[in-house]
Chain A
Amino acid sequence: GEDVEQSLFLSVREGDSSVINCTYTDSSSTYLYWYKQEPGAGLQLLTYIFSNMDMKQDQRLTVLLNKKDKHLSLRIADTQTGDSAIYFCADSNYQLIWGAGTKLIIKP
């Protein structure tokens, strides 16, 4: 079946940029998503990108999509302690396929 893969952990220093990567296998994906889960909470949508786009920017967040390599990334500029969370990548054609989540750890 289709798969979405991401690293389980990423550690960055406060103030640096964080780049969370994701690869997927479904070449028919129409939308790709980034969700954020803060401790003790459900997931909330951060952003999504349509598959015919290669970049989307929203304030501190930049999403890059390389459709040829089936690679999606989320860049968070000027990472703050409030960005500590688990970040999930997901793709969709009919149903959502989820990655395992990347836990972002912020070092002071």
Chain B
Amino acid sequence: DVKVTQSSRYLVKRTGEKVFLECVQDMDHENMFWYRQDPGLGLRLIYFSYDVKMKEKGDIPEGYSVSREKKERFSLILESASTNQTSMYLCASSQGGESGANVLTFGAGSRLTVL
């Protein structure tokens, strides 16, 4: 069964702490994504990556950074967590290629609370 695994389902952090959210996929997918999900706002793209060591900003990158040192792993970093970063974070991956449907496989999500 193909999977996207997010290592932490629930985290509680304090304001100013550094936070790492890890995501691993086992499908040899080229593309990986980090979204945040807030009620009534849907999914907003934070960062994405089309290849190892490659990253591109999404719609809301401020306050976040990412790392993709290996194809299967895409990490989201909050350098100094703030209360407005309390949210559900979703990792996803998809096969590369320019044609065809862009089908994403999602992890179960990481719910982060910043106090």
Contact = CB atoms under 8 A, between A and B. Distances in A.
Interface of A: 4, 8, 31, 33, 35, 40-45, 48, 50, 88, 92, 95-96, 98-101
B108 A100 contact: no
B108 A41 contact: yes
Interface string B71-115: 000000000000000000010100000000111111111000000
Interface of B: 4, 40-45, 48, 58, 90, 92, 101-109
6 contacts: A33-B103, A35-B104, A41-B109, A42-B109, A43-B104, A88-B42
A103 B83 CA distance: 26
Contacts of B104: 35, 43, 45, 96
Contact of A101 (B42, B106, B109): B42
B90 A8 contact: no
Nearest to B98: A94
Query: Which secondary structure dominates where chain A touches chain B?
Result: strand
Contacts of B108: 40-42
A6 to B, nearest CB: 9
Given A42-B4, A42-B109, A48 B103 contact: yes
Nearest to A95: B45
Contacts of A50: 101
A98 B101 contact: no
Given A31-B102, A96-B102, A42 B107 contact: yes
Given A31-B101, A95-B45, A44 B106 contact: yes
A92 B102 contact: yes
